[in-house]
Structure 1
Amino acid sequence: MARGTIQNKETFLTNIADQLGRKRKTEGVERPQWSKSPQHDVFAGMSQDEMLDRFVLQCDKIHTNVVVIPQKDLASSFERVVSDMGSGSIVHWNDPRFETYGLKETLKKQEDAGVDVFEWNPDLGHKNIEKAEQANIGVTFSDTTLAESGTVVLHSNAGKGRSVSLLPQRYIAIIPKSTLVPRMTQAAEKLHELADENGRTPSCVNFISGPSNSADIELRLVVGVHGPVQATYIVIDDQ
């Protein structure tokens, strides 16, 4: 992948150092060790089951349906959620986890039953976005899941277009229970780990906490103004 060119980088950084009244540091820079780190104390010591309980409680506050199932029930639960959402058309990521968890076969059954099923294909360019705009349901997996806020964290790549979770009328997130972490702090740590392993972070990272919510100056809540009007999280007990 081609990298962009940063114009006037050296001059810019040198000017900042001059404004700070010191010479510019180009090596030996270390991250500070903070004396207080309260962000690590939230839900510290909780088991995955305890975090899941917190997650479900938070999802009720953000108008998001949650289904917690054993992995063997994923196909039937997925079909039920799709039916409850009105079926119609589905767009989903090109993600190996659809194969791993048996959803490829389930989606094929949906297609055989007359549902328009489209898998994100980076070779098709803008057509992917058009299909997402027209879809009733978008389906992704969660890469990291935040118990504190009821948030799914999605790491985009060529096969995992961000439009899948943003443009359809409704959204389904498949959440392996093992992806649950306490909060944003741990999600950021995982991104740092990815950067260290791969030399870069994902092209886009989306934090999604249920359907879109907006309130005007009189605090009248409106759901679905700038995104899906309905969201369901299917949590798989994969541990």
Structure 2
Amino acid sequence: MAIQHRESFLNNVAAKLNRPRKKSAVTKPIWRKQPQWDVLKGCTQEQLIQVLEKQCKVIHTSFKRTNKNTLANVLYETILEYGGKSIITAEDERNDLYGLPTFFDRLGEEKIDIHVWNSGKGEENVIFAEQANIGITFSDMTLAESGTVTLFNDKNNSRSISLLPKHYIAIIPKETIVPRMSQATKTIHDLHEAGHKIASSISFITGPSNSADIELNLVVGVHGPIKATYIVVE
């Protein structure tokens, strides 16, 4: 897609600023004070988990801990708490690493409808997500300070999985937990600089959907899942 009138537009902006156009690369400044790196500095992974657990209470999110051997049991317990019925999840290589295909087969035998996102099925995935009771994804990075899970969305891991169902479950591998947004954005930047392919869409999700736009009264479940559970996995 061609950009129309770019040169004339930029020349006009420069003229309004009363300076010549800058056409050379911009050098990123080095700031003497960078307090963003001091927050939660030096915390161990266990301490970050404790910070995350505390923050989950603030953002109205259930928090659970388990390991790979008992993940299926904790997932099953959470799914039953949310009423079962129908589940949508991403086509993710971590499903195999954490033994989830066998678990999903077990749910199917119990008449719980399971849909694994399939990019070849197009709009059919979205229709199922709209009607699904539960969405399940892995977190790619998890921000302890704010209780935020980060999802690298692509054709196999759509935003619809975490946005459209009534309930949302985030599986959080322990090693994905970082102190805060500073570390998350640096990681994304470093991956890009190293030539890694970055997802075209990155979602930052902090608990269930909520809004305090009207009279500053917090309402949970306005434009997305009304309940959320984070499961940290050793």
Distance in 2 of aligned mates of 1:7 and 1:192: 29
Change (3 A) 1:219 1:56: same
SS of equivalent residue, structure 2 residue 156: coil
Question: Which residue pairs with 1:93 in the alignment?
Answer: 90
Shift of 1:109: 1.1
Distance in 1 of aligned mates of 2:187 and 2:20: 33
Q: Which runs of 5+ in 1 are unaligned?
A: none
Do residues 116 (structure 1) and 113 (structure 2) align?
yes
> Of 25, 45, 49, which residue of structure 1 is paired with 2:22?
25
Which stretch of the first structure deviates more once superposed, 85-94 or 6-15?
6-15
Distance in 1 of aligned mates of 2:105 and 2:33: 52
Distance in 1 of aligned mates of 2:198 and 2:226: 30
Superposition map of 1:97-108 within 5 A? 97-108=94-105
- The Cα offsets for residues 79-138 of structure 1, whole Å up to 9 and x where unpaired, read as 111111111000001111111111121111111221110011111111111010010000
Superposition map of 1:59-138 within 5 A? 59-138=56-135
TM-score (normalizing by structure 1): 0.91
Distance in 2 of aligned mates of 1:23 and 1:174: 52
Do residues 194 (structure 1) and 204 (structure 2) align?
no
Change (3 A) 1:76 1:95: same
State the 4+ residue runs in structure 1 displaced beyond 4 angstroms: none
* AA at the equivalent of 1:209: T
- The Cα offsets for residues 172-226 of structure 1, whole Å up to 9 and x where unpaired, read as 0000010111111111112212322346642111111111122354443321111
> Of 219, 222, 233, which residue of structure 2 is paired with 1:222?
219
* AA at the equivalent of 2:141: T
Question: Which residue pairs with 1:144 in the alignment?
Answer: 141
> Of 48, 51, 60, which residue of structure 2 is paired with 1:51?
48
Q: Which runs of 5+ in 2 are unaligned?
A: none
Distance in 2 of aligned mates of 1:75 and 1:133: 25
Distance in 1 of aligned mates of 2:212 and 2:18: 46
Distance in 2 of aligned mates of 1:78 and 1:137: 11
Distance in 1 of aligned mates of 2:59 and 2:186: 25
SS of equivalent residue, structure 1 residue 231: strand
The CA RMSD over aligned residues, in Å, is 1.7
Question: Which residue pairs with 2:201 in the alignment?
Answer: 204
Matched pairs, number = 234
* AA at the equivalent of 2:66: I
Question: Which residue pairs with 1:175 in the alignment?
Answer: 172
- The Cα offsets for residues 130-181 of structure 1, whole Å up to 9 and x where unpaired, read as 0100100000110110000000011111101000000000000000010111
Identity of aligned residues (%): 47
Distance in 2 of aligned mates of 1:29 and 1:222: 43
Which stretch of the first structure deviates more once superposed, 70-79 or 192-201?
192-201
* AA at the equivalent of 2:76: E
Distance in 2 of aligned mates of 1:95 and 1:108: 16
SS of equivalent residue, structure 1 residue 36: coil
